[in-house]
């Protein structure tokens, strides 16, 4: 593996190259790099930055496929097709490791092509770093810093999307509003640190019960929301009851003493053949939650179970 610091390191699984090539002149390389640098500044989406890089380098080095494996939580980016011969580069700035980029094609890379690739990669590394930083900042802006669940801004976006999909495909959609019972007592009796630990335990408990397709948010304070796509009322009741039972059995330790809590849950399900606003779902789920509190807490109530007098 080659190492270049600001920079890049390379690993060849390529073999010796014997292609007949016409190397770029220094002027052509410089012109390519200028055009490339300008193009890479046009987006803060890592996938778009990599796509632009892939397209612009073709005039200098023919490449069939590019794979970027990020060192962060950003998903891998695959462009083109993977071929037998490849060269791998570790992208590292003075601030840390960004990830690995792999170029591949059916013919072996020649040494002068690798030199050109490394020359052009120096134009990619900082635009890519900036794009990854931006995506990370955007992701963190949509997370609750305590529980690392989605926050209210993320909930609004996700619920609008899920409601539109449900209406378009006439599929089921349910919403759970979950509130910890008598949570103020934990803060008052054991301190806010223990209260925070309990909130994290509740969040993990909800995650452990929910399916991979369910989307979980901390709505604020001790309140959580779960969006259940393609889930009817009966399915939502089953999941809500599992959450209630799991939290009832969840405890944290305080000086050898186990502290527990319970939750009340309100359910609202999208009305079929009726266009709804997200506020309609929220209002009905909130009314059901209020009724659950009135029923003595530690229970599940659906908005369809409520009797509304007109």
Residue range 240-264, pLDDT digits in tens: 999 999 999 999 998 889 999 999 9
**Mean pLDDT score of the chain:** 88
Burial per residue of 264-286, b for 16 or more beta-carbon CB atoms within 10 angstroms, e otherwise: bbbbbbbeeeeeeeeebbbebbb
Task: Compute the average pLDDT of residues 40-55.
Answer: 94
Task: Compute the average pLDDT of residues 114-137.
Answer: 92
Q: Are 261 and 186 in contact (CB under 8 A)?
A: yes
Task: Mark whether 222 is an active-site residue.
Answer: yes
Cα 6 to chain centroid, rounded: 28
Helix, strand or coil, per DSSP, at residue 60: coil
Q: Are 138 and 245 in contact (CB under 8 A)?
A: no
Q: Which of 2, 12, 6 is nearest to 92 (CA)?
A: 6
Question: Given a cut of 50, is residue 7 above it in pLDDT?
Answer: no
Per-residue pLDDT band for 140 (boundaries 50, 70, 90) equals confident
Question: Given a cut of 50, is residue 174 above it in pLDDT?
Answer: yes
Q: How many contiguous H segments (helices) and E segments (strands) does the chain have? A: 8, 13
| CA angle in degrees (0–180, nearest 5) for 240-245-249 | 145
Element (H, E) at 216: strand 215-220
> Catalytic: which of 111, 167, 222, 248?
222
Give phi and psi for 138, each to the nearest 5: -65, -40
d(CA 222, CA 192): 12
Q: Are 56 and 24 in contact (CB under 8 A)?
A: no
Task: Compute the average pLDDT of residues 51-55.
Answer: 95
Helix, strand or coil, per DSSP, at residue 171: coil
Task: Compute the average pLDDT of residues 54-67.
Answer: 93
Q: Is 17 buried (19+), middle (13-18) or exposed (0-12) by CB count in 10 A?
A: middle
Q: What is the pLDDT of residue 305?
A: 85
Q: Is 257 buried (19+), middle (13-18) or exposed (0-12) by CB count in 10 A?
A: exposed
Helix, strand or coil, per DSSP, at residue 232: coil
d(CA 201, CA 70): 30
């Amino acid at each position: 593996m080659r190492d270049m610091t600001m920079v890049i390191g390379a690993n060849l699984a390529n073999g010796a190259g014997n292609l007949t090539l016409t190397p770029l002149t220094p002027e052509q390389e410089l012109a390519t790099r200028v055009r490339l640098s300008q193009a890479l500044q046009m987006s803060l989406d890592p996938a778009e930055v990599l796509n632009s890089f892939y397209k612009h380098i073709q005039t200098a080095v023919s490449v069939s496929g590019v794979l970027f494996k990020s060192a962060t939580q950003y998903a891998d980016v695959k462009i083109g097709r993977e071929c037998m011969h490849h060269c791998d580069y570790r992208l590292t700035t003075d601030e840390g490791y960004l990830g690995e980029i792999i170029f591949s094609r059916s013919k072996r890379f020649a040494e002068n092509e690798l030199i050109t690739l490394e020359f052009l990669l120096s134009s990619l590394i900082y635009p890519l770093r900036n794009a990854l930083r931006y995506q990370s900042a955007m992701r963190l802006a949509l997370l609750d810093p305590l529980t690392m669940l989605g926050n209210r801004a993320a909930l609004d976006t996700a619920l609008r999307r899920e409601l539109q999909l449900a209406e378009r495909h006439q599929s089921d959609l349910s919403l759970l509003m979950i509130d910890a019972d008598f949570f103020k007592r934990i803060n008052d009796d054991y301190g806010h640190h223990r209260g925070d630990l309990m909130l994290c335990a509740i969040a993990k408990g909800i995650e452990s019960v929910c399916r991979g397709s369910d989307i979980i948010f901390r709505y604020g304070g001790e309140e959580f929301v779960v969006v259940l796509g393609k889930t009817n009322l009966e399915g939502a009741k089953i999941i809500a009851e599992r959450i209630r039972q799991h939290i009832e059995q969840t405890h944290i330790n305080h000086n050898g003493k186990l502290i527990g809590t319970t939750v009340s849950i309100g359910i609202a399900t999208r009305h079929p053949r009726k266009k709804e606003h997200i506020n309609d779902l929220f209002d009905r789920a909130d009314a059901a939650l209020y009724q659950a509190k009135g029923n003595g807490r530690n229970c599940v109530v659906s908005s369809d179970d409520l009797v509304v007098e007109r």
